[in-house]
Amino acid sequence: MDKITLQGMRFFGYHGVFPEENKLGQRFVVDLTLFADLKRAGVNDALADTVNYAEILETTRKVVEEESFQLIEAVAERIASLLLDTYTKINEITVKVTKPHPPVDAHFDGVSVEINRKRET
C-alpha cells in the first residue's frame, strides 16, 4: 500500500486532565501516515485521484484546535475516525499525537500516543 505522510504539524489546543491545561492550552504535534492506492494519481497527475493533504491538515487542525479532550488518545482516535469516515481513498491511517510539555515534574521531550486504524469492510 502506498502512503502519504504529514509530519510535525503543530497546533495549539486545550486537551488535558488538569483544569489548567483546558484553560491555558498548550502546543501539540501531530504526525499522520495515510495508506492509500496512489497509482491512479501517479499515472493521471490529477488531484482528484489522491488525498488532498491540505484538506487533511485543515481537518486535523480543527480537531486539535477547536475540540477538547482529556486524553491525547482521544485526540488521536477522533482524528483517525474523522479522516477514515471523510476520505474513502484512505484505507488505513496511523496517527501520532505528541504533547511536548506535559504537566509532570520531569524533564523529557514529551509524551506521544500512536494509533493505527483500518477501514472497516
Active site residue ranges: 99
Which residues contact residue 90 at a Cβ distance below 8 angstroms, ignoring those fewer than 6 apart?
Answer: 34, 35, 36, 51, 83, 84, 119
What grid cell was written down for 113? 500516543
